[in-house]
Amino acid sequence: MAHETGSAGDAPASAVVAIVRAIDGLAIWSGRLFCWLAVPLVAGLTYEVIARYVFHAPTIWAYDVAYMLYGTHFMLGAAYTLYKGGHIRTDIFYQNWSARTRGIIDATLYLFFFFPGIALFFWMGLQEALHSWDIREVSDASPWRPIIYPFKAVIPIALLLLMIQGVSEFLKSAHAARTGRPL
């Protein structure tokens, strides 16, 4: 017997949809926010190129700013990339499977590989970031020696966002596995 709209049987599905939409909204918001890190990255590199090749006066800070901004941009964009389906996947077989089969495979992989791996990386990244803040770590990569503890804090933040988006992707996969329809 089909459920009517608004019946008690729809409550779990509507709750899942609400959770997925909220989490996906966070990924979209963070993706839109963190994409702006490309602007200071390009500005800094442009300044460095002009200073180096036009005025023959290279900076000591451009390398450090570039790797920190690029790394931050790359890491903080991971949750948005997961939302958009942009991470690596071998589609040779996957594209031919039914929504239910894809859901079963994806939900299983999220549960047994993604979450444990991301949890481990989050824990280790958090420990490294806390240690870096404790010792007020600076970079040894250049004579400028900038502080890098804020940069290292990006690692657990990015992993937390990625794990949260993973919850949404798992719920979508579990729904597809159960119903045979994507969410």
Q: Residue 4: inside a domain, yes or no? A: no
Alpha helices (H) along the chain? 11-34, 38-53, 62-76, 78-84, 91-94, 99-109, 115-135, 149-179
Rounded Cα distance, 164 and 170, in Å? 10
Instruction: Let me know how long the chain is.
Output: 183
Q: Residue 150: inside a domain, yes or no? A: yes
Q: Pick from 157, 7, 9: which is nearest to 71 by CA?
A: 157
Tokens read off for 155: 């690692």
Q: Which domain holds residue 136?
A: 13-84+96-179
Q: How many domains does the chain have?
A: 1
Q: Identify whether the C-beta of residue 73 lies closer than 8 Å to the C-beta of residue 67.
A: no
The residue type at 158: A
- pLDDT tens across 19-63, in order? 999 999 999 999 999 999 999 999 999 999 999 999 999 999 999
Q: Residue 100: inside a domain, yes or no? A: yes
Q: Residue 115: inside a domain, yes or no? A: yes
Q: What is the pTM of this model?
A: 0.87
Rounded Cα distance, 42 and 61, in Å? 14
Q: Pick from 22, 20, 32: which is nearest to 169 by CA?
A: 20
Q: Residue 47: inside a domain, yes or no? A: yes
- pLDDT tens across 53-99, in order? 999 999 999 999 999 999 999 999 999 999 999 887 767 788 889 99
Tokens read off for 16: 């899942």
Tell me the C-alpha to C-alpha distance, in Å, between residue 166 and each of 26, 87, 101. 12, 12, 18
- pLDDT tens across 101-133, in order? 999 999 999 999 999 999 999 999 999 999 999
Q: Pick from 151, 147, 183: which is nearest to 24 by CA?
A: 183
Q: Residue 126: inside a domain, yes or no? A: yes
Q: Residue 91: inside a domain, yes or no? A: no
Q: Residue 7: inside a domain, yes or no? A: no
